[in-house]
Amino acid sequence: MRLLIFILIILILIIYIRYYTKINIDTKILQANLYNLNYNILQEKYPIVINDKIVNINDIINKTFKHLYTKKFQNTIFNENIKQNLAKYCLFHNNTDNDIEIFIINPINSKLFSFKNSPNNNNFLTSTETNIDNIFSIKMILKPYNVLILPYGWLFKCNTICSNFFLFDILNLLIANYYNRFK
């Protein structure tokens, strides 16, 4: 009887993980403002651009994402390599007065790249490739003090210095640690 319950729990866990890590095969960019940004929009697993002027990113993290993450990492990224987000949400905050250029790629195309662990960083996987000319990518121009929310699995490339916040929940922490230990 214990074995049957154990197998049932493992089966439920596997189904949950498969659903949780499922990616969308189509590509959409959602636009929102702070007023209409909610959990239902975040669960669609599409990138979201917040067009409101956000001076302090911690305000949106503490309000909108309050119960959606267990660990937060801040990073500054400047590297032309393609990266794959391992966090539940990656927030790009343009805290400058200049536009920032970010290329995003649907995770369905991740099979076209070979990724490796990022040294001293569990937030993303890094590809050695920088050329995205032959891949369907979307060039995002992030206006000053706007935010781009990138869900789990999406690929990105920044050509300028970029402030990032990686928000992990328990499952994403386990996935990131798995990738960084065994891949």
What pLDDT, in 10s, does the model give residues 75-124? Answer: 776 667 888 888 888 999 988 899 999 999 888 887 777 777 665 566 66
We report the CATH number of the domain holding residue 108 as 2.60.120.650
What pLDDT, in 10s, does the model give residues 14-71? Answer: 887 777 777 788 888 889 888 888 888 888 889 999 988 888 888 888 888 877 777 7
Residue 21 placed within a domain: no
Residue 54 placed within a domain: yes
Residue 73 placed within a domain: yes
Residue 173 placed within a domain: yes
Residue 2 placed within a domain: no
Residue 167 placed within a domain: yes
Q: Each residue of 110-148: b (16+ CB within 10 Å) or e?
A: beebebebbeebbbbbbbeeeebeeeebeebebeebbbb
The domain total for the chain is 1
Residue 139 placed within a domain: yes
Residue 47 placed within a domain: yes
d(CA 135, CA 115): 16
Domain extent, residue 129, equals: 26-182
